[in-house]
Chain A
Amino acid sequence: MTQPHAEQESPTGRPHVSAEVFEKCAAAIATLIRERAQQAKDKRSLRWQEEIISREIPVGGSVLDLGCGDGFLLERLIRERNVRGQGVEIDAEQVFSCVDRGVPVIQADLGSGLAWCPDKAFDVVVLEETLQTLQNPREVLEEMLRVGKRGIVSFPNFAHYRVVVDLAARSRMPVTERLPYYWYESANIHLLTLRDLLDWASSSGVAIVSGYALVDGAPRELRADDDLLAEEVLVVVERK
């Protein structure tokens, strides 16, 4: 697998901003202010990652899903990819839903670590839309790559132009389709950008095996100029 970001500048460099991005920003200001009220509710493509995750998981392999929620993804992976799936989830009601689906789940706080799990016990460890909610995201990323041969991380990109514009236009924490909560009710306590994740990877000896971005509601492979275009990011990572 090639390194999609090999040609990019150093982690501390300025992200590439194209004319296309500026155009989009300008257009977005008007629509954003108009549509702000309903932005939160649309969930059509919230599950876009699962199609990609499903492809990235070896058939018959083993998957640990950190913050597995109601077990929707694992149920699919168990059914379609015949994996040995194990979820970890902190919320009791979500754990009940996992059991209803027949998904094995451990109710635990990711913040208290994965010491119970041996090294490289899983082919893939998934952190789907969970990273930004964690108290200690860096430790969990490290643990992810200790217990898994590969990690899959997806998160909302805080540098997406709509987020940036919303922040600039309103001087308030952004409320967008992907970040549909006010600051005081949001579970997102460690919001990050695509660039932040790439910085972490390069400073931690972690290789980006492949990457995907949700752009204008559609997923595609990650490109070099996606810093402001990607609403959400999904990367497959492994230790170099």
Chain B
Amino acid sequence: MSPEDKERRGSGPEASDSVGWTNARTIRLVAADAPVELELGGTLGPIDVEYETYGTLSPRKDNVVFIAHALTGDAHVAGWDKDTEKNGRTWRDRKPGWWDAVVGPGKAIDTSRYFVICPNVLGSCYGTTGPASIDPLTGKPYGLHFPMVTVGDWVKLHARLLDALGIARIRAIIGGSIGGQQALEMALAFPERVERVVVLAAAPRLSAQGVAFNAVARYCILNDPNFSGGDYYGRDKGPDAGLAAARMLAHITYLSDEGMHEKFGRRLQRDGDQKAGFGIEFAVESYLDYQGRAFVERFDANSYLYITRAMDYYDAAAAWGVGSLVEACRRVKASALVVSFDSDWLYPPADCRDLALALTRTGTRVTYAEVPSRFGHDSFLVETQKVGRLLRSFLAH
């Protein structure tokens, strides 16, 4: 039995707690002749959005759980993609959706009770309109002619998706990292539509350190000799080295010092075989190299530029409270659950706690939990038991 088969047998599409085979849908939410105005200026149209749903929408349409994905995530939250040959995303053959441990029948986000929706964000490369899409003006991919998009633009588009599905209010919106910022933005921009908001490992804005990491990541991409001003589509080579370097850097920020030490230490990749060179000597180097290569196979460098920029720009207090987070949070009508992880240094607990404390001013129900974990920012994806327990209970009440 191959490792792939083993992995599938435990949590494969036939497992009783799996959402099974999935196929994404694509919907045109903005017509070419009626483009939307964007937050930072300019217009965009047409816009298609790829999204997945699991479970059954109740007759009263009151069981919707909206999941917002993170920077390099996609709409494929759970289950096994049936269409990998058609859509070319063959890496999905080896593993289920990115939050399969949490979403499924009987799981924390129980698809036998809730109707789960997750769209891919604007500017990404997984089916929703982005820099690799065809610009109707030129007949060629947008590249860097794609307009700057923001978390606010994403969320307005998500609201259009809900409109298109005939859903007025959602039981909850849940997201981690920049997905958590989308969740917060939804509760701020459409307070009447959100009953519960869950923000995992995310703050109302990114710290200077976080912006700095994104700047270095973009520098790697923009200065790759094959970047070609973003117009690399259809060429032999794209900015693979730059994108891989960006991913390697980002991966360091997703882990913690302690977690890295535990996982790799100073172990050599091949025992007792240290060469005096610059190849892959340490286990941690090998891990990062693998992460970089695997990422290049599945992500578009231009999307990385646009989405990291949206992450940098997001500032809930500036957008909704003239700089005051408390003022901004007064808009929120949803019950809130904010979760941080004690080893997360990308969105540190103190920043997440500030959000929770500001939300207490809304007079609604607010819970803030700081989960002990060694896995750094990645904890929101890795600590499925602890996060799952919080989600299950919070959704139930």
Instruction: Pick the contact of A84: B357, B363, B371, B386 (CB < 8 A).
Output: B363
Q: Which of A96, A101, A104 interacts with B366 by CB under 8 Å?
A: A104
Q: Could you mark each residue 349-367 of chain B with 1 if its beta carbon is under 8 Å from any beta carbon of chain A, else 0?
A: 0000100111011010111
Q: Do the beta carbons of A117 and B360 come within 8 Å of each other?
A: yes
B396 within 8 A of A: yes
8 A Cβ contacts from A64-98 to B = 84, 86, 92, 95-96, 98
The answer to whether A107 and B369 touch (CB under 8 A), given A86-B360, A99-B393, is yes
Known A84-B363, A96-B369, A99-B367: A106·B393 in contact at CB below 8 Å: no
Cβ–Cβ < 8 Å partners of B397 in chain A: 102
Provide the bound-state CA to CA distance between A53 and B137, in Å.
70
* Separation of A118 and B358 alpha carbons in the complex (Å): 11
Residues of A within 8 A of B367 (CB): 95, 98-99, 104-106
| Residues of A within 8 A of B (CB-CB), count | 18
Q: Does A142 contact B (CB under 8 A)?
A: no
A198 interface residue, CB < 8 Å from B? no
What residues on A are CB-neighbors of B370 within 8 Å?
92, 95, 107
- Measured CB to CB, the closest approach of chain A to B200, in angstroms, equals 13
| Chain B residues closer than 8 Å to A108, beta-carbon distance | 353, 368
CA distance A84 to B361 in the complex (A): 13
- Flag whether B337 is at the interface (Cβ < 8 A): yes
Least CB separation from B390: chain A residue: A99
Q: Flag whether B372 is at the interface (Cβ < 8 A).
A: yes
Is A102 within 8 A of B390, CB to CB? no
B219 CB within 8 Å of chain A: no
B311 to chain A, nearest CB (A): 26
- In this assembly, does A100 line the interface, its C-beta being within 8 Å of a C-beta of chain B? yes
Q: Among the listed A96, A102, A106, A107, which residue makes an inter-chain contact with B360, where contact means beta carbons less than 8 Å apart?
A: A106
Q: Is B263 an interface residue (CB 8 A)?
A: no
Shortest CB distance B325–A (Å) = 11
Q: Identify the closest chain B residue to A102 (Cβ).
A: B397
B389 on the interface (CB 8 Å rule)?
yes
B241 to chain A, nearest CB (A): 42
Q: Is B98 an interface residue (CB 8 A)?
A: no
Q: How long is the Cα–Cα vector from A118 to B330 in the complex, in angstroms? A: 14
Residue of A with least CB distance to B397: A102
5 further A-B contacts with Cβ under 8 Å, apart from A99-B389, A102-B393, A106-B353, are A96-B369, A99-B337, A99-B390, A105-B367, A108-B368
